[in-house]
Structure 1
Amino acid sequence: MRISKSQTEKNRRLVIQTAVDLMTSQGFEGTTMKQIARAAELGDATIYKYFPSKEKLVLAYFEQAATDALAQIGKTKGLASFTLQERMQLLIDALLEQFLADREFVALAHKLVAGAPLLLMGDELPGKQVLKQAFAEMLEQAESKGEIAACGFQPSLAALLADGVYAITAYWLRDESDEFANTTQMVDLSLNLLVLTLHSGIINKALDLGGFLLRSQLTRLLRDGNGLLDLLKLARMGLSGVGK
C-alpha cells in the first residue's frame, strides 16, 4: 500500500529519533538496523526504504536538525530587519538548541564523522548543503543592504561558514562552562569579527587562497579551545579601527 508524503516524513523522523535513542544507550556498533526497525514498529526491510545504512541515518539526523533550525528561525518576528550577525547567531543558537536534547548522541556521531577525514573536507559533511544555502542567502541580503562590502566569493564563504558550524559544535561538546557561556562568547566574538572583516573588504582577494588553511586551523582551534577567546578579542580590537 502506498503511503502519503506526510506519513513518509513522519516515519522518517520516527526512524531517526528511534536510532538516536538506541545508539545513545547501546552505542553505534551495538545498534543494528533490525533493532531500529522493530523499535520503530516498522518491517525489517521497510527501514531500508528510508535509510540504506546506519551511517546514512546518522547523517540524516544532522540534516534534519539543520532543516528544523531554519524552520524555527523563519518564524521569528521582524527577521527581515535583523543584521547579518543577528541572523547567523540566530541560526547557530537554533541548531545548538536542536542538539541539546540529544547531546550525548551528537557527541557519538561527531566522533564518527571526525574519523572520516575526507568527509570533513567535502560537501558531504552532515547538513552542510542546507547550512551553506542558508548562509549564502544571508550574505546576499547583507550585501544588498550595504552591510558588507561587495564580494565575489559568497559561495566559498558560505561553505566555510557551514564548516564553521561543525567546528562550533565540536567546541560546544567540550564546553563545561555554566550554560555553555564560553560557547556563547566564542560565537559572538567570531561572528562580530567576521562581520567587521566583511564590512572592511580586506579579505576579498584572500579568502579563496587561504580558505583551506583558515578552515583547518579554525577547526583545530575550536577543538582545542586553548586561547581562542583571547585571540578573537584581539582580532576584533584590531579590525574595529579599520575604515574609521
Structure 2
Amino acid sequence: MRITKSQTEKNRRQVIQTAVDLMTSQGFEGTTMKQIARAADLGDATIYKYFPSKEKLVLAYFEQAVADALVQIGKTKGLASFSLQERMQLLIDALLEQFLADREFVALAHKLVAGAPLLLMGEDLPGKTLLKQAFADMLEQAEEKGEIAACGFKPSLAALLADSVYAITAYWLRDDSDEFANTTQMVDLSLDLLVLALHSGIVNKALDLGGFLLRSQLTRLLRDGNGLLDLLKLARSGLARGAA
C-alpha cells in the first residue's frame, strides 16, 4: 500500500526521534538499525527506505533541527522590522532551543561529526545549505535597508556564518554556566562585532585577505573557548572606537 507524503514525513520524524532516544541511552555503537526500526514500529527492512545508515540518521537529525528552527522564526510577529543582528540572534536561539531537549544526543552526535575533519570543512555539514541561504537572505535584506555597507561577498560570508553555528553549538555543549549565560554573552558579542564590521565595510578586506584563515581561527577559538569572551570584547571595543 502506498503511503501519503504526510505519513512518510511522520514516519521519518518518528525514526529520528526513536534513534535519538535509543542512542542517548545506549550510545551510538550500542544501537542498531534493527532496534530503531522495531521501536519505531517499522519493519527491519523498511527503515532503510528512510535512512541507509545510522550515520545518515544522525545527520538527518541536524537537518531537521535547522529546518524546524527556520519554520519557527518564520512565524515570529513583526519579523520584517527586525534588525540584522536580531534576525541572526533569533535563528541561533531557535536552533539551540531545538537542541536543548536532546542535548545529550547532540553532544554524542557532535563527537561523531567532529571525528570527520573533511566533513567539517565541506559543504556536507548537515543543515549547512539551509543555514547559508537563511544568512544570505538576512544579509541581502540588511543591505537593501542600508543597515550594512554594500558588499559583493554575501555568499562567502553566509557560508562562514553557517560554519560558525556549528562552532557555537560546540561552545554551548561545553558551557556549564547558569542558563548558558556564557554562550548568550559570546553570541551577543560575536553578532555585535560582526554587524559593526559590516557597517564599517572592514569585512570586505578581512575576507579578501584571509577568509579561510578567519574561518579556521574562529572554529579553533570556539572549540577551545580559551579567552574567547575577552577577545571578543576587545575586538568590539576597537571597532566601536573606530566607528565613533
The bucket for the TM-score relative to the shorter chain is over 0.9
> Which range moved further: 233-242 or 199-208?
199-208
1:31 aligned counterpart, secondary structure: coil
**What CA distance in whole angstroms lies between the structure 2 residues aligned with 1:208 and 1:122?**
20
In structure 1, the residue matched to 2:92 is 92
Written as runs of structure 1 = structure 2, the 5 A alignment for 1:151-190 is 151-190=151-190
Structure 2 unpaired stretches of 5+? none
1:193 aligned counterpart, secondary structure: helix
The Cα of 1:211 is off from its aligned counterpart by 1.5
The Cα of 1:208 is off from its aligned counterpart by 4.2
Q: What amino acid maps onto 1:147 in structure 2?
A: E
Kept in 2: contact 1:156–1:208 (CA 8 A): no
Q: Does 1:222 align with 2:218?
A: no
**What CA distance in whole angstroms lies between the structure 1 residues aligned with 2:104 and 2:56?**
18
The Cα of 1:220 is off from its aligned counterpart by 1.1
In structure 1, the residue matched to 2:25 is 25
CA RMSD in angstroms, aligned pairs only:
0.8
- List per-residue Cα deviations over 1:107-132 (Å, max 9, x = no partner): 00000000000000001012111111
The Cα of 1:242 is off from its aligned counterpart by 2.6
Q: What amino acid maps onto 1:40 in structure 2?
A: A
**What CA distance in whole angstroms lies between the structure 2 residues aligned with 1:216 and 1:108?**
23
State the aligned residue count: 244
**What CA distance in whole angstroms lies between the structure 1 residues aligned with 2:204 and 2:220?**
24
1:206 aligned counterpart, secondary structure: helix
The Cα of 1:213 is off from its aligned counterpart by 1.0
Structure 1 unpaired stretches of 5+? none
Normalised by the length of structure 2, the TM-score is: 0.98
Q: What amino acid maps onto 2:230 in structure 1?
A: D
In structure 1, the residue matched to 2:200 is 200
Normalised by the length of structure 1, the TM-score is: 0.98
In structure 1, the residue matched to 2:120 is 120
Q: What amino acid maps onto 1:239 in structure 2?
A: L
- List per-residue Cα deviations over 1:166-198 (Å, max 9, x = no partner): 000000000000000000000000000000000
Q: Does 1:74 align with 2:52?
A: no
Q: What amino acid maps onto 2:48 in structure 1?
A: Y
**What CA distance in whole angstroms lies between the structure 1 residues aligned with 2:243 and 2:205?**
17
Q: What amino acid maps onto 1:8 in structure 2?
A: T
**What CA distance in whole angstroms lies between the structure 2 residues aligned with 1:16 and 1:210?**
38
**What CA distance in whole angstroms lies between the structure 1 residues aligned with 2:187 and 2:208?**
23
The Cα of 1:155 is off from its aligned counterpart by 0.6
**What CA distance in whole angstroms lies between the structure 2 residues aligned with 1:112 and 1:208?**
32
In structure 2, the residue matched to 1:104 is 104
Q: What amino acid maps onto 1:168 in structure 2?
A: I
